[in-house]
A = this chain, B = another copy of it.
Amino acid sequence: MSTTAKAYGTEAAEAPLNQLNITRRNPTPHDVEIEILFCGVCHSDLHVARNEWHSTIYPTVPGHEIVGKVVNVGGHVSKFKVGDIVGVGCMVDSCQECEYCKESMEQYCVNEMTQTYNSPDKHLGTHTFGGYSESVVVDEKFVLRIPENLDLAGTAPLLCAGITTYSPLRHWNVGPGQNVGVVGIGGLGHMGIKLAKAMGAHVIAFTTSESKFEEAKRLGADEVVLSKDADQMAAYKGKLHFILDAVSANHDVNTYLSLLRVDGSMVLVGVPEHPLSLASFNLVIGRRSLAGSAIGGIAETQEMLDFCGEHNITADIEMINIQDINEAYERLLKSDVKYRFVIDMASLKD
């Protein structure tokens, strides 16, 4: 019981993305069928398309920042109706039985969450296909409500970049009276600045480029620091309560750790390819922590969307047609985007 859907993907690591057909299941009683309107372009999409994490199953269709319209619902669906505007992020299923699923931390499911693409698909026996497609069918438990006031294209990146930065900021109780550093002003970092600011923190953005100073302030940073200037960095030594490290490239975390106050935490949300070099001294002095965080649970993702609705926060985006995706990947590699590409999926109908 399945149908064919148009999508954009690739058959091999070296091949460009191109149009192909995929199979979507017909909605089960608990499923929601979504016509995809917009899909954000996450760096993970590129990693998987090019098999950079050595686990890609081909053909692959990336995309996990999905906003769309409900066009069909299964008989037992209670949360959504045809016509609703909804979102789907990085997960479309999890075991629902382990201790972490029961605590609404499906992202840490002991039996491994089903990712929106490149995971085993228990319905069709194949693997999951992502949001570079005209439609997707998802269990309603993994479908999110989109606040009415938000721009839909700018909302798509909230489903990954938004929750990835919101979750650690919330988990580590970022708020008023705190100096919060955000390292890296890209897809994740620009959301980190907006969200930390909306949570009431005093936000200090760190960038390697003086040209980003004005931008960082426009995004909401109270202060901006040129990270390669040792004097500027030294002025913040021991001053920060929390640092969100949104850099995916290899970089020196030690310089930042020394900026933390006693009991401060620095949290990695990017995953650099090579191991980091860590001077343990920087943790021992000041009882500091270096931690990591991966997306967020479904309940927390809904909380993030509602928070963004309340504070009118969306991502800063550059809209593209699906036919421009290969060029967009090249620009992504050069960080040449402010700050997230979003695909207008209407272009797939052309």
Q: Which residue of B lies closest to A293 (CB)?
A: B287
Is the CB of A143 closer than 8 A to any CB of chain B?
Answer: no
Closest to A100 in B: B262
The 0/1 profile, CB within 8 Å of B marked 1, for residues 237-270 of chain A is: 0100000000000000010000000100100111
Q: Could you say which of A69-77, A114-122, A228-236, A272-280 contacts chain B? A: A272-280
Residues in B with CB closer than 8 Å to A290 are: 278, 283, 289-291
Interface string of A285-297 (1 = CB under 8 A from B): 1111111111000
- Among A5-21, those with CB < 8 Å from B are none
Tell me if B271 and A280 are in contact (CB < 8 A): yes
The range of chain A's interface size is 35 or more
User: A284 within 8 Å of B by Cβ?
Assistant: yes
**Bound-state Cα–Cα, A286 to B171, Å:** 13
Residues of B within 8 A of A254 (CB): 275
A277 near B280: Cβ-Cβ < 8 Å: no
Binary contact readout A179-217 vs B (1 if CB under 8 angstroms, 0 otherwise): 000000000000000000000000000000000000000
- Does the CB pair B110–A238 fall under 8 Å? yes
Query: In the assembled complex, which residues on chain B have CB atoms less than 8 Å from the CB atom of A286?
Result: 108, 292, 294
Q: Tell me if A91 is interfacial: C-beta within 8 Å of chain B.
A: no
* Complex Cα spacing A254 to B275, Å: 10
Q: Which of A108, A168, A283, A294 has the most CB of B within 10 A?
A: A283
| Cα separation A277 to B108 with both chains bound (whole Å) | 24
A146 interfacial contact with B, CB 8 Å: no
User: Does chain B have a CB within 8 A of A152?
Assistant: no
Residue of B275, B283, B285, B291 touching A277 (CB-CB under 8 A)? B275
Residues of chain B contacted by A265 (CB below 8 angstroms): 289
- Using Cβ atoms and an 8 Å threshold, which residues of chain B touch A269? 284
Known: A110-B238, A290-B289. A276 touches B268 (CB 8 A): no
- Asked if A90 CB lies within 8 Å of chain B CBs, one says no
Task: Pick the contact of A281: B100, B271, B289 (CB < 8 A).
Answer: B271
CA distance A291 to B278 in the complex (A): 11
Asked whether A268 and B284 contact (CB < 8 A) given A275-B278, A278-B276, A278-B278, the answer is yes
Give the contacting residue for A292; candidates B105, B268, B283; CB below 8 A: B283
Residue interface mask A81-105, B partner, CB < 8 A = 1 = 0000000000000000000100001
A76, B279: Cα distance in complex, Å: 43
Chain B residue with Cβ nearest A285: B294
Q: Pick 13 A–B contacts, CB within 8 A, sort by A.
A: A108-B285, A108-B287, A268-B284, A271-B280, A271-B284, A276-B278, A276-B280, A278-B278, A278-B290, A283-B292, A286-B294, A287-B294, A290-B291
Inter-chain pairs besides A171-B287, A290-B291, 14 sampled, C-beta below 8 Å: A100-B262, A108-B287, A271-B280, A275-B279, A276-B277, A276-B280, A277-B277, A277-B278, A278-B278, A280-B292, A284-B292, A285-B294, A288-B291, A289-B289
